[in-house]
């Protein structure tokens, strides 16, 4: 457990943000599929290090039979598609939580293409037993309402299939910007791919790996935006972000404008300034950027803004059930929330006096960081299992200290 005491004065700090694991994990797959041995600058986070290690193991030891992806959903999904498309019989598994996260849309799509992927225990969920073989490609239909990572997995491997791939998307398309990010990375590395409204065409080709494609993580910036919004006075300089990024979470700048934060580019750095003009009511649709929900939800609660959020259907199958996790912990702190259904969430102004300041993190990095940011408004907090931030932002607690927070292990 860690005790977090926010600074009493202005919040002024320069933060070197971690690299984007969304980009890094795609780049690691592309590097593997290209056959390149070039070094690639990785974020120092659990997910990307695991992706690198498992792909390196697959490259060097073709006899490995079990691949354990832990809590890393991206790793599991991307690696499943790669294993299905190469010769060899293997089991791919993960943590207990991973075995509760659905994977049927990806499995169904791969098997449509002639793959041999089977559920080891419960239908629709990991672990999977894969009898891998080179796939010829063709046309495939996939449910796009569960995870964009299923689609990105198919896209990246599709370029190595004999006839390429035509992916038809059905249902509500969630996290569309992440599909567009995959398109951009593939195009930048020699693959002819087009994304239409409900159709993706990937032509067969040879990847030309570019190790220079990396940038800081816009998702990590969300917690600093939250602190800027909640502080009495703030001047936070964020380093490493790309102004023209394909990361969907760049939508932060627009969303936080209504929560009192000005985003101003100063050369290569992004300066966050608190202007304090906060909307009386706040509404947002998170269909394209679900990872921003925890930071924005705690910000609205801390500011006492009446809020309604939609586009949240995918949050139940993240590292934790984030609608439930965020709602439970906000209520623990005395904030008034309404978890209305599987796709929406409301926050009412006000906070009851009697509350508990011991925050559970549910093994979820985004819960830990979002509620740490909320301490600026809520006061001293105790956060259980603070090490979970290593999944995406290992230096988070150090950066908080640099900003004047007191973080004491207890």
Kindly list the catalytic residues. Answer: 291
CA dihedral 303, 306, 311, 314 (to 10 degrees): 60
Backbone angle region of 175, left / alpha / beta, with phi > 0 → left and psi within -120 to 50 → alpha: left
Count of C-beta atoms within a 10 Å radius of residue 178: 25
290 to 83, 216, 250, 332: CA distances (angstroms): 28, 18, 12, 23
CB burial class (10 A; 0-12, 13-18, 19+) of residue 122? exposed
Q: Are strands 128-132 and 117-119 parallel, antiparallel or unpaired?
A: antiparallel
Query: From the DSSP assignment, how many helices (H) and strands (E) are in the chain?
Result: 12, 20
User: Which residues are CB-contacts of 360 (< 8 A; sequence separation ≥ 6)?
Assistant: 325, 328, 329, 332, 367, 384
User: Cα separation of 156 and 193, whole Å?
Assistant: 10
Assess contact for 376 and 230: CB atoms under 8 A: yes
CA 373 to chain centre: 18
The total number of residues written for the chain in this structure = 410
């Amino acid at each position: 457990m860690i005790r977090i005491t926010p600074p009493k004065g202005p919040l002024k700090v320069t933060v070197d943000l971690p690299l984007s694991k969304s980009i890094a994990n795609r780049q690691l797959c592309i590097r593997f599929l290209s056959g390149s041995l070039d070094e690639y600058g990785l974020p120092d986070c659990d997910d990307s290090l695991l992706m690198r290690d498992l792909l390196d193991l697959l490259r060097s030891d073709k006899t490995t039979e079990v691949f354990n992806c832990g809590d890393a959903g991206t790793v599991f999904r991307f690696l499943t598609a790669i294993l299905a498309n190469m010769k060899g019989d293997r089991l791919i598994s993960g943590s207990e939580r991973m075995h509760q996260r659905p994977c049927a849309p990806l499995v169904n799509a791969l098997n449509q293409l002639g793959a041999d992927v089977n559920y080891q225990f419960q239908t629709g969920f990991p672990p999977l037993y894969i009898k891998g073989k080179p796939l010829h490609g063709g046309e495939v239909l996939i449910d796009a309402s569960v995870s964009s990572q299923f689609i990105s997995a198919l896209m990246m491997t599709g370029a190595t299939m004999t006839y390429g791939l035509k992916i038809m998307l059905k249902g509500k398309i969630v996290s569309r910007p992440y599909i567009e990010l995959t398109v951009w990375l593939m195009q930048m590395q020699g693959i002819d791919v087009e994304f239409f409204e409900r159709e993706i065409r990937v032509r067969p080709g040879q990847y030309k790996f570019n190790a220079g494609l990396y940038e800081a993580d816009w998702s990590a910036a969300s917690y600093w935006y939250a602190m800027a919004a909640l502080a009495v006075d703030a001047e936070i300089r964020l380093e490493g972000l790309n102004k023209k990024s394909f990361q969907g979470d760049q939508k932060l700048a627009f969303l936080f404008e209504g929560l009192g934060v000005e985003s101003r580019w100063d050369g290569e750095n992004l300066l966050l300034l608190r202007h304090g003009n906060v909307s009386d009511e706040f509404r947002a649709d998170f269909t394209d950027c679900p990872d921003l929900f925890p930071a924005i939800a705690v910000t609205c609660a801390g500011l006492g803004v009446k809020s309604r959020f939609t586009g949240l259907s995918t949050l139940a199958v993240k590292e934790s059930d984030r609608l439930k996790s965020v709602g439970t912990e906000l209520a623990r702190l005395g904030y008034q929330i309404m978890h209305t259904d599987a796709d929406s969430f409301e926050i009412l102004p006000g906070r009851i006096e009697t509350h508990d300041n011991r925050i559970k993190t549910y093994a979820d990095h985004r819960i830990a960081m979002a509620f740490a940011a909320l301490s600026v408004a809520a006061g001293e907090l105790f956060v259980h299992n603070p090490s979970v931030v290593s999944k995406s932002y290992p230096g988070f607690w150090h950066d908080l200290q640099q900003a004047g927070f007191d973080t004491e292990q207890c």
